[in-house]
Structure 1
Amino acid sequence: MPEHRAIPDTPLFDRDGSILGYELNKMAMALSQAVNRDAFRADEEAYLDRFGLSAAQKRAVLARDWHEMVRLGGNLFFILKIAAVDPTPITQIGAAQAGMSHDDFLYQRLGKQRNG
């Protein structure tokens, strides 16, 4: 990556990221259709295998490792389709991207009161 475009600890979704994450993003976008959401819920591994994800991408999806999915070329707009199946709050994904606990993220980034 050219030095002038590097942002420390921030995966950049550019042409290279798009190529790297093509299968991951195609799989996630397919979750827009109810039949695919049903297939994903029924057998996640089999569903992921249909799209030819890399082993690392597959592990990231199965673990719901949002930061790793983005690092492996996932576009956040497509990754959110995976989150919608569970459903996972977008603030939880934001916390993962920031390397923070969900509670800390809500408090520090959004000014919410801490739980407990």
Structure 2
Amino acid sequence: MDQPGFDVHIDIPGTTIFDGKQAMKGYALNKMCYEFNKAENREAFKADPEAWMEKYGLNEQQKQAIRDSDILAMIEAGGNIYYLAKLAGIFKLSVQDVGGMQTGRTTEEFKKFLKSQA
């Protein structure tokens, strides 16, 4: 018996679905971001981001997204938002900032939207 959602890729316009293909694409980026669970690694990254990107073997798309502080481009390059949250923090972006980016809203508009859904 087929279970819906397990054999069909859902296309949501403007949304990057994190599936197995994206996980493989973003493995190096997500592995690097996992290391940001430690404060000393976040500081080391801030001191020399290029060295960190090289150390983890990021591809040029991932590196450019980081250079541009573009979280949405990082997601497109295979980043998982749960790992990217630490990197977003390095860029002084909150989860609400990223939510706003993902929905085409400002941070304040996104916060108001969240409150309206409660």
**Number of residue pairs matched by the alignment:** 110
% identical aligned pairs:
35
Give runs of ≥4 in structure 1 deviating > 3 Å. Answer: none
Correspondent of 1:6 among 11, 14, 26: 11
Distance 1:61 1:10 in 2: 19
Structure 2 unaligned segments of length 5 or more: list them.
1-6
Name the SS of the counterpart of 2:37 in structure 1.
coil
Distance 1:22 1:69 in 2: 12
Q: Check the 8 A contact 2:36/2:87 in 1, yes or no.
A: yes
Residues in 1 aligned to 2:47 and 2:9: alpha-carbon distance in whole angstroms:
45
Q: Do the aligned partners of 2:62 and 2:77 also contact (CA within 8 Å) in 1?
A: yes
Equivalent residue number for residue 55 of structure 1? 60
**Residues of 2 paired with 1:4 and 1:82: CA distance?**
28
TM-score normalised by L of structure 1: 0.83
CA distance in 1, matches of 2:64, 2:100: 20
Name stretches of at least 5 consecutive residues in structure 1 with no aligned partner: none
Select the residue among 76, 93, 100 that pairs with 2:81.
Answer: 76
User: Could you tell me how far 1:99 is from its partner in structure 2?
Assistant: 2.2
Shift, 1:15, TM fit: 0.6
1:1-116 counterparts in 2 under 5 A? Answer: 4-107=9-112, 109-111=113-115
Amino acid paired to 1:51 = Y
For the aligned residue pairs, the C-alpha RMSD in angstroms reads 1.9
Q: Is the 8 A contact 1:95 1:102 kept in 2?
A: yes
Question: For the Cα contact (< 8 Å) 2:69–2:91, is it kept in 1?
Answer: no
The CA deviation at 1:106 is: 2.9
State the shift of 1:4 in Å.
4.7
- What is the Cα deviation at residue 19 of structure 1? 0.3
Note closer, same or farther for the CA distance 1:34–1:9 as it changes in structure 2 (3 Å cut): same
Instruction: Judge conservation of contact 1:28–1:82 (CA < 8 Å) in 2.
Output: yes
Q: Structure 2-normalised TM-score?
A: 0.81
Letter in 2 for 1:75: N
